[in-house]
Amino acid sequence: MTEAAIAASHEVMAVYADPSPSFSLKSDATPVTEADTRAEAAILSMLRKWFPDIPVVAEEEVASGKSPAAVDRFFLVDPLDGTKEFISRNGEFTVNIALIDNGVPVAGVVCAPALGEIFVGQGSQAWRGELVEGEIRNLRPIRTRPAPPRLVAVGSRSHGTEGTTDWLKRFDVDRFVSKGSSLKFCLVATGEADIYPRLGRTMEWDTAAGDAVLRAAGGIVTDMEGKPFRYNKRGQASDLDFANGHFVAYGDPRLCGIAAAGME
């Protein structure tokens, strides 16, 4: 998975070298660039060669109507998370690959090629490394931190909502950090932030890899009622397959209890 993410990152940066990359809009009005398609092709080629028995659910393939039959174990791929950040050239975009098993993200890779960073999580271990010329260097373990008296909250740079500000009033928030793509999960995983509420629509490929890294680092992700956040959501009456509801990512799982108390 890590090698596939690095290969995709190479494709992304080749397009990023163009100071004015072209893009088009998909049917849901979200942008797609040549980087999305080239990165996804690289990932699919490698995963299907190495893991022929594990299906892959990939964003651009799903957008074109291609989705494998439902199984318990599969890969979720977002070849370029944060396309708006890619287009605006702020560097806060990522390549995301996750392995889902019975609705749970059990392994994930988040690669931020423009920032030269990579985050990996599997089981109960997570790491952060530097990405230099296609190689991982200075790989070191990461863990979430115990919640301090005053929290650092992180939220979307491109998709913030007024409801997020209102929801956070149940906590003593020292400051709010805006960040693009799955890097929000990674800030919580490294202990640089404590909480990430998302009261807007996302898709499973947007969140699975960052979710896997955070869980491996000691955090949790729940829905707004405090229930475990699940994947492989198909046949939803209210939305498309793989569409997420609102969620909260916590570095310190004890914060979930405070959030629940604030709902009473």
**9-56: per-residue pLDDT in tens?**
999 999 999 877 778 877 776 788 999 999 999 999 999 999 999 999
Mean pLDDT of 120-144: 96
223 annotated to bind ligand: no
Question: Rounded to whole angstroms, how far apart are CA atoms 100 and 14?
Answer: 29
Q: Residue 228's CB: how many other CB atoms inside 10 A? A: 10
Single-letter amino acid code for the residue at 1: M
| Confidence check: pLDDT of 262 > 70 | no
Q: What is the pTM of this model?
A: 0.95
Q: Could you tell me the CATH number of the domain that includes residue 254?
A: 3.40.190.80
Say if residue 8 is in the same domain as residue 137: yes
**What's the pLDDT tens digit per position in 219-229?**
999 999 999 99
Task: Identify whether 77 is part of a domain.
Answer: yes
Per residue in 139-155, is it b (16+ CB within 10 Å) or e — as a string? Answer: eeebebbebeeebbbbb
Say if residue 129 is in the same domain as residue 161: no
CA distances from residue 171 to 174, 195, 256 in whole angstroms, order as listed: 9, 10, 11
222 annotated to bind ligand: no
**Hey, which bits of 70-158 come out as E strands?**
73-81, 94-101, 104-112, 117-122, 125-132, 135-141, 151-156
The reported pLDDT for the residue numbered 154 is 97
Number of domains in the chain: 2
53 annotated to bind ligand: no
Task: Identify whether 146 is part of a domain.
Answer: no
More confident residue, 22 or 172: 172
Say if residue 236 is in the same domain as residue 160: yes
CA distances from residue 46 to 15, 50, 98, 114, 201 in whole angstroms, order as listed: 20, 6, 14, 22, 30
Among 97, 120, 141, which residue terminates a domain? Answer: 141
Mean pLDDT of 178-204: 96
CA geometry: angle 12, 251, 97, nearest 5 deg: 25
- Going by C-alpha positions, the residue among 69, 67, 107, 82 that lies closest to residue 9 is 82
121 annotated to bind ligand: no
25 annotated to bind ligand: no
Question: Rounded to whole angstroms, how far apart are CA atoms 32 and 15?
Answer: 12
| Confidence check: pLDDT of 264 > 70 | no
